[in-house]
Amino acid sequence: MRRVNFEILSFAAAVLSVVLIILTESTFYVLSINGKFVGWGAALAVASLAGLLTIFSKRSYKNTGIIVGAAAAVLGAISVFFAAYYSVQISPRIEAHFSEGGFASRQSRSFNQGPTGGCECGPATLNLEPAKLAGQVNGSELHLQWDASEICMGLTIEDSGGTMEVSKDEKLIESLSLPYSYGNAYLKFSTPGHYSALLRYHGGCRNIFCNKQCSMTATAPIDIR
C-alpha cells in the first residue's frame, strides 16, 4: 500500500492558505463583510491543516519533513498576522470636518426672500454636489457640498440643526452633527466598500401668521476602493 506523502500535503496546504489570502485581498472591494470573514476563516483553517500535516510529515520523513514543516509554519504565521491586521481594520473609521458657506446658497439666489403671507416649507430634498462620491482608502479627502438654505423659503428659522449619517452596506457606522444649513463636508475613509451619507436638516419656520416644522433630506452614495 502506497504511503501518504504528508510533507507534500503540508506544503500544498500552506500554499493554499496564502492563495486564499491573496484572493480575499484582491476581491476586498467586491466581497461583503461576511465574504471577507469566510475568506480569512478558510485561509486560517487550511493553515491549521498544514500545521497538523507537518506533525505527520516529521514522523514519516525526518530529513525533509522538518524543513517543509517549518515553511508551512511560517506561511501559517503570515496568515495569522494578516488575519489579526484585518480584524483591526475591519471596523471602518471616518474622519470628517465641516466648513460653513464658501459658495452662494440657493436661498440667496431664490425669488423667495421672505417674509410672505404664506407659511410653506421649502423643497423636501436638499441639494448635494456632487450627487455621488468615489475615492481611495486613506487617499485625498472627499468633498461634499450641501445646501439646505431653502428650508424655510426666506422665513425666520428657529431651532435648526441637522445630521449626516454615514452607513456601510446599509449599516450605520457614525452619525455626525451637521452644524450649518449649507456648507462643505470633507470625508476620509479607512476601509474600502460601498458607503452612503444621509443628510438631514430641520428647523422651525415662522412668520407673524404661523409656525411650522420643516425638514430636508438627501443621500449621497460613496464608493471607496
Number of other residues whose CB lies within 10 A of the CB of residue 85: 10
Percent of all residues in the chain with a pLDDT value above 70, rounded to a whole number: 57
Helix (H, G, I), strand (E, B) or coil at 136: coil
pLDDT digits (tens, 9 = 90+) for 105-125: 998 887 765 555 567 888 999
Return the DSSP state at 59. Answer: H
Return the DSSP state at 152. Answer: G
Q: Are 68 and 115 in contact (CB under 8 A)?
A: no
Average pLDDT over residues 165-192: 93
Question: CB within 8 A of 80, min separation 6: which ones?
Answer: 44, 47
Return the DSSP state at 3. Answer: P
pLDDT digits (tens, 9 = 90+) for 88-103: 455 678 899 999 989 9
Does the pLDDT value for residue 180 go beyond 90? Answer: yes
pLDDT of res. 100: 93
Q: Are 201 and 220 in contact (CB under 8 A)?
A: no
Q: Are 71 and 151 in contact (CB under 8 A)?
A: no
Cell numbers describing residue 49? 491543516
- Residue 203 pairs with which residues in a beta bridge? 214
Q: Could you tell me the pTM of the whole model?
A: 0.61
Q: 193-206 and 182-189: which strand pairing?
A: unpaired
Average pLDDT over residues 62-77: 57
Task: Count Cβ atoms within 10 A of the Cβ of residue 81 and give its class: 0-12 exposed, 13-18 middle, 19 or more buried.
Answer: exposed
Q: Are 76 and 84 in contact (CB under 8 A)?
A: no
Residue 57, φ and ψ in degrees, nearest 5: -60, -40
Q: Are 173 and 187 in contact (CB under 8 A)?
A: no
pLDDT digits (tens, 9 = 90+) for 10-43: 667 667 766 766 666 655 444 445 555 566 666 6
For the CA atoms of 220, 215, 113, 97, what is the dihedral angle to 10 degrees? -50
